[in-house]
Structures are given as C-alpha cells and as structure tokens.
Structure 1
Amino acid sequence: MVMRNPSLTLIVTTYNWPEALELCLKSILQQTIMPDEIIIADDGSTETTKNIITQYQQQFKVPLIHVWQEDTGFQLSKIRNKAIAKAKMEYIVQIDGDLVLEKHFIADHLSFNRTGAFVSGTRVQMSPQLSTKLVSENKIEVSVFSKGITNFSNGLRIPTLREFLAERYKSSNIMYVRGCNMAFWKADLVKVNGYNEAIVGWGREDSELAVRLSNSGIKKRILKFGAVTFHIYHPEAQRQQLNTNDAILKNAIANHTKTCKFGLSQYL
C-alpha cells in the first residue's frame, strides 16, 4: 500500500570529500520536492566538511543536521545507525555524498514507497574526466546525455515501467542492493536493529541488512527508471575486511537472521 505524503528524512553519508558533498548538497537544493530534514552522516571528516555543512545550513529551508563520529577507520554501519536514530521522520532515503541527484529524486522515492517494503535504486557512473570537470568547476550540470556517462539506462526516467519492474528486476537476488541509493521505513529498521556494526571496512553492510529485512517479511523493491543519481568517480576503497564481512553475510542467509546484536538500538 502506498503511504500518501509520508514525512521523509534524507541521510547523506560522507567522509573527507567536501568537494563532492557540496555538489550533492547543490543537487538537493534543486529538488522539486524537498525532504523534511537532511542528516549528514559523517564518518570522521575534518573541519573542512563541517564548514561546508555550516555554509549550506543557511541555504536550506529544512533542517540540515551534521552527525559526526571520530575517525577510527571505515565505520559506515555505525554512522548510518547514529543518523537513523537521529531521524525524526517516518520514511528514510539514504544516499552517499558522492552523488549528484536528478531534480525528481526525492519525488520519485516518495511516489514509489510501499508499506512492508524497502527500496534499492540505481546509479549512473561518470567517467574520471567528467567527474573531475564537475568537481573542479563546482557545477552539477550533468544528464544522461553528457559525455562520460556509462550504464545509460540508469539515467532514464520512465514512470510507466517502474511498477512493472519493481519486484521483477533482479528479484531472485535479495543481496542485489545499492547502499548509495536506498529507502526504508524507520520502523522497519528499528525492527531489525538497523545496520550490523560487526561489519566494518568496505562491503556487505547493505546486503546483510537487506537479507535481515527480507527474513523479517519486508519485501525488496527495485526503483528502476526513477530516482536517478550520478556517481562521482573515485578509486575503489581498500577491501581488507571483505572476507570477514562475507562470512557475516553468509551466516545471516544460512540462519535466516532477522536482527543483529550490535546495531541501531544502541542509539535509541
């Protein structure tokens, strides 16, 4: 069932890339429908990021909140949980701070919401050259037709196809999610205890959460041809913890796990 006009928190994760975060904030300012609040989930950035956020707090007509934790390495699950705990709205859209949002991004997520479901969107990859150009010029003029765009279809908005694909596209793989572009009901995240903080370092925190949500009866819906995002290129993160994180994910699948020990409840 569609929930008409739910209140919405936009959570933006970031770590020491204020130039990209500024482009992301600029694209949020241009949304056709604004979120009710924005929370920057900051995994230990320096003062430069804080200054950017302070600057943009003057430009937004909705709260722009900075949730920061000390830099103790890659702790994405932890900072997301802290931001989720802080969220006051019933529906949460989660993105990474290295995305430029198409202007209908929030509107598309709002219209796609369903009770008893969570959402994973997609992203358009930008080449290093196009990414460097946008960052150096501090501009967000990018579209699916820009030179340097890959996976073209992820940049298209086709509302008539969204519902048809929602539970068909990649439906057999519950682990297929994009943590950089997801949406949840806050109550559902509380139910499964949010992100599993046993997962540290890069990888699998989003898939493991998706598995626990699914095990709890919450359906995955893929938002294809809507909520378009353009990803600013950067080198891939180091993956020293991936084998450990894979083991946690496989355990959640094998044991039909619905919750986690170290999660969101620590901050509620």
Structure 2
Amino acid sequence: MKISLIITTYNWPEALKAVLESVLRQSCLPDEVIIADDGSGKQTEQLIKAYQSTFPVPLHHSWQQDKGFRLSRSRNQAIDKANHDYIVMIDGDMVLEKNFIADHKYHAQPARFITGKRVKMNAKLSGLVQQQQALPHPLSKGIARGRELTIRCRALANMLSHKTPQSTVGIHGCNLAFWRQDVININGFNEEFEGWGPEDKEFAQRMINAGILRKVSKFSAVAYHLDHQESCRAQLHKNDVIFQQSINAKLTWCRAGISEC
C-alpha cells in the first residue's frame, strides 16, 4: 500500500518547516508529500523549493490563489493530484511523532476512514519546536492539553480504535486518513464552505452516509499541535447549515467538490 501525505498550509512557513522536519524523521516515510497551499506567499514557496531538492520522496506544491479561507478547495486540488490509493491528511501545524505514518498504515482497512487526535502545545513549547530547539514527547513541559494522547500503545489501540463508527463527534481534519476512491465517490470536500466551519464533520457525514464508516485512532498516530490564534468564526452559522443539510438529507454527494478540479 502506497501513501500520499497531504499537508495543508497558509502563510506560516515556520510551522510548515517543523512539520516537514517531523516527516523526515518518520520510521516509515510516505510515498509522496503534497503541500495543499491556500494561497501562501513567496516565503512558503521558497521553503518548499529548498526542501524539494533533497527530500527523500516526491514533494509537490499544490497552490491556489488567495481568495480568502478556501480550505476545502485546497484539499480537493491536492487529492486530485495524489498519485496513490491511500491518503493521510494533516494540517500544517501538526508535528508528527516518528511512527505517525506507520500507525496510519497499520490501521488502514477497506470501507473505513481513520480519524486521529492532536496533542496541544503551549506557545513556549511551540516556539522551541519551530526553532528546532526541542522535539515534543510525552514528558515535554508545555503540553497544554491532551497529555494522555501522547501515549502510543498498539495493544490499547487495537482494543479501543473501533468505537463510534457512525459518529462525527470530535472529528478534526488535522489528522485524517482515507482511501482516495472513497473520497472521489462522495465528490471530496464541500467547497460551499468558505471561512471556518464544520467542513471536516460534513465530509465525514457524507462518508458515513455512503457506507464508509469511521475508525478512531487512539493510542496511535500521535501528533502535536503548534499553538496559534484561532481562526475567525464569522461564517460558522452559515457553514453549520450546510452540515445540518448533509445530516437531515443523508447526502452522499456535494454539488461543489473535487469533480470541479
């Protein structure tokens, strides 16, 4: 099984650098990395070009013009460019434990998508990680929330990773994995979402409606979230209406999706 790792980003090259460094430390490398860029400037472009010259697997830059928060479209473009059947998707502020890709590969199974968790770091530890002065670990000073999520244990993961197969509670697209064809079948992420909102849950709901059930990755696929200011939630009500429509109408397809790429 070959894996495409998609990393979303927008104008935060310092964080992206820390994430790419954590990819390089993986015990099992992905087979390609695609940066899903929602319109970053030259600094991000230059950073990616610098890494492309020495990166051990193909490193692609999927860029779209900056027209506001269009995360769903950015993700769809990257999925459309992916060359492999299985996709692991993270945000550009998620620093990966060295077995992150290996764990996702282990948990992959037909007719399932995988949702993982995130360990939140405070501002001080996040700064040290970005400056390459620290690597986060279970005993790090500066874990702001979710220290229990730093525990990696395959036996516990095997016992507890099959709960809530039809629930969207607690789903975050910052740590997500799925089969590319399953996503094509539901037309990808819904591009009607603009601005912050539950686009990850809406995506998952359509997967569940289509018979692709959720598998929660616990005690596995550990990732550390860099501290930053939260996104503006001005569009939340409008976006939540889109999510509720997918629930109420049991939708498996969105009108504006990956088919437009």
Shorter-normalised TM range: over 0.9
Q: 1:226 to 1:144 in 2, by over 3 A?
A: same
What secondary structure sits across from 1:176 in the alignment?
coil
In the TM superposition, what is the alpha-carbon distance from 1:78 to its structure 2 partner? Answer: 0.3
Report whether the alignment pairs 1:116 with 2:114.
Answer: no
Quick check: 1:145 aligned with 2:149?
Answer: no
Q: CA deviation at 1:266?
A: 1.1
Aligned to 2:47: 52
> For the Cα contact (< 8 Å) 1:175–1:210, is it kept in 2?
no
User: Is the contact made by 2:166 and 2:208 (CA closer than 8 Å) also made in structure 1?
Assistant: no
List per-residue Cα deviations over 1:24-76 (Å, max 9, x = no partner): 00000010111110000000000000111011112212100000001100000
1:256 is matched with: 250
Out of 126, 133, 140, the position equivalent to 1:131 is 126
Match of 1:221 in 2: 215
Cα distance in 2 for partners of 1:91, 1:171 equals 19
Alignment partners' CA distance in 2, 1:140 and 1:58: 25
Structure 1: distance between partners of 2:152 and 2:125: 21
TM-score when normalising by structure 1: 0.95
Query: For the Cα contact (< 8 Å) 1:144–1:152, is it kept in 2?
Result: yes
Aligned residues: 260
Instruction: For 1:10, give the aligned amino acid.
Output: L
Asked if 1:10 is matched to 2:16, the reply is no
Question: Given that residues 11 and 41 in structure 1 are in contact (C-alpha distance below 8 angstroms), is that contact kept between their aligned partners in structure 2?
Answer: yes
> Which residue of 2 is the match for residue 100 of structure 1?
95
Counting aligned pairs with the same residue, the percent is 45
Partner letter of residue 187 of structure 1? Q
2:128 and 2:134 in contact (8 A); partners too: no
Contact 1:175–1:211, Cα closer than 8 Å, also in 2: no
State whether structure 2 residue 179 is matched by structure 1 residue 181. no
Give ranges in structure 2 of 5+ residues lacking alignment: none
TM alignment of 1:230-241, pairs within 5 A:
230-241=224-235
Contact 2:189/2:199 (<8 A) preserved: yes
Residues 1:244 and 2:238 are matched in the alignment:
yes
Structure 1 SS opposite 2:34: strand
Corresponding residue to 2:79 among 77, 84, 106:
84
Distance 2:134 2:36 in 1: 22
Q: CA deviation at 1:174?
A: 2.3
Aligned CA distance change for structure 1 residues 205 and 140 (closer, same or farther; 3 Å)? farther
Q: Look up the match of 1:200.
A: 194
**Counterpart for residue 3 of structure 1:** none
Tell me how far 1:161 sits from its aligned partner: 1.4
Residue 178 of structure 1 deviates from its aligned partner by: 1.4
Deviation at 1:140, TM superposition (A): 4.8
Aligned with 1:31: secondary structure? Answer: coil
Kept after mapping to 2: 8 A contact 1:118/1:221: yes
TM-score of the aligned structures, taking structure 2 as reference length:
0.97
CA contact (8 A) 2:64 2:74 kept: yes
Shift of 1:139: 3.9
Q: Once the two structures are superposed, what CA deviation does each residue of 1:186-213 show, in whole Å capped at 9, x if it has no partner?
A: 0000000000000110121100000000
Paired residue type of 1:138 = Q
SS at match of 2:155: helix
Q: Answer yes or no: is the 8 Å Cα contact 1:31–1:106 preserved in 2.
A: yes
- Give structure 1 stretches of 5+ with no counterpart: 1-5
Is the counterpart of residue 72 in structure 1 residue 67 in structure 2?
Answer: yes
Q: 2:258, 2:160 → 1: CA distance?
A: 31
Q: CA RMSD in A?
A: 1.1
